[in-house]
Each structure stands twice: as structure tokens, then as C-alpha cells.
Structure 1
Amino acid sequence: MTEYEKAMRPEDITRLFVERSNAGDAAGVAALYEEDAVLAYPPGSRTVGRAAIQELWEKVLANRPRFEPEQPLPTLVSGDLTLTSTPPRDGAGARAQVVRRQSDGSWLRVLDQPEFVAPDRR
């Protein structure tokens, strides 16, 4: 089993996600999630569990998309839970994640909402 760099700060997860995605490493991306994490992707559905998240990212990364780092918004911390978020480069919607401190002090994603666009309120 590959030994991956751990996110020792909640904000590290976004950097590690970009690095691993750009390397085509679906297992490395999945390693950023707790075993029973929930990913709100593809849009309109949910992918539940690290194994399913890895399977999803294998398909996504097969197309060799290129990810760019996004500047994090301020992190909100409450004990061992943290809310992290980034504004997408196109300025539409938001990305938000709940991460939890692990027993070794590292952080993993529990909930991930990578794409959210508010409904049109006309």
C-alpha cells in the first residue's frame, strides 16, 4: 500500500487533491477521504465511501483533466471538525468540505460538496 503525505492542516487537503489529481492518482485522491465519506458528485447525486470515491476518480482522471489550486476561504474550526471552502475560478457557486481531525492529528474529508450553484431565484 502506498504511503501518502497526510494533511496536517485542513487547508493541506486542497493542495494534495490538486497534486494527486494532476498526477492521475485516484487512490491518492480517495486517501484524502474517511472510509464512509460522502461526495456530492457527479452533480445531483452522491458517491459514498472511499472505495466508491476512488472508482469515480479513476473514471474522471482517465480524461486527464488539469486542476489549478484555488485560494481557500477562511477555515471554520470547531474541535475536531472543520469547514473548508474555496470559490471556483469562474466565480459561480462555491465548493465546501467538512474535514475531521484523525487520531494521528491529520485531517480527512467527511463531506465534500465540490460544485454548488444556487438555484436561479427569478
Structure 2
Amino acid sequence: MSDLKKALREKALRPEDLTRLFVERSNAGDAVGVAELYEEDAVMAYPPGGRTVGRAAIEELWASVLADAPRFEPEAPLPTLISGDIALTSTPPRDGAGARAQVARRQPDGSWLRLLDQPEFIPPAH
């Protein structure tokens, strides 16, 4: 990917923007763009019972998931909790049981990236 394209990608200016950008980039099949929503050393609680650590591993995971072209629907976020440069965001799953939760951190440029991600479920890759 060109540096220009990377530079033109929209940044999350609010913690809540991360979920919207995730949906947009996932539906576009953009695993690199999805991974760029995470800090370099981010931790994702996936696969079930395991975890994926680091932006490169998260990109690899999403490339595999997005190869099957799943569709993601925007979801209304639950209220965001912010303390200084740390935010807790979450969205309710469609079945109403539990919630997806993410911890985001404000970056030096004022944008936000995910540090921890607890997804509900990701369709299995083939």
C-alpha cells in the first residue's frame, strides 16, 4: 500500500469512531486498514480461548477472516467511559447477551487506537 493511501485514511478522532471505521474497513475487505485501528502491541481476545497480540498478527487474522467477505453492520455504541487518555467503548451484540468491549488510548496526535479488544464472535475463516 502506498504511504499516500495510508496517510489519507481517516483517523478516529473520538473513541466511538473506532467501531464505525472498523465496520467500514471490514466491509471493504481492508485488513491493513482494520489493523491500523490498533496500537502496535494491542491484544485481541480471539480466537476463542486464545489471543492475538500485535498489529501484524491482528492484520493476519483479519486478512483470513475478511477473505470470506463477511458483512458487518453498524451498531449503536453504549456510553463511552473516558479517563484521561484511556477510553472504554462497547457495543451490545445482536442477541442482547453480554457486550463487545474495547479499551482505546489517545495517541500523541489526538487520535484514538485500540489497545485491548474483546470481540463477541468472528466468523471462522476457511
Q: Which TM-score tier does this pair reach, normalised by the shorter chain?
A: over 0.9
Matches within 5 A, 1:80-91: 80-91=85-96
What is aligned with 1:79? 84
> After TM superposition, which residue ranges in structure 1, 4 or more long, deviate above 6 angstroms?
none
Point out the structure with the larger strand share. 1
What is aligned with 1:23? 28
With normalisation by structure 2, the TM-score equals 0.89
Query: How many residues are matched?
Result: 116
What is aligned with 1:40? 45
What is aligned with 2:113? 108
Distance 1:85 1:68 in 2: 15
Matches within 5 A, 1:37-76: 37-76=42-81
Structure 2 unpaired stretches of 5+: 122-126
What is aligned with 1:5? 10
Counterpart residue identity of residue 111, structure 2: S
Distance 1:87 1:18 in 2: 15
> SS of 2:120's equivalent?
strand
TM-superposed deviation, 1:93: 2.0
Contact residue 43 and residue 115 of structure 1 kept, 8 A: no
TM-superposed deviation, 1:94: 1.0
With normalisation by structure 1, the TM-score equals 0.92
Point out the structure with the larger helix share. 2
- Deviations along 1:26-79, one digit per CA (max 9) or x if unpaired, are 000000000000000111110000000000000000000000011100000000
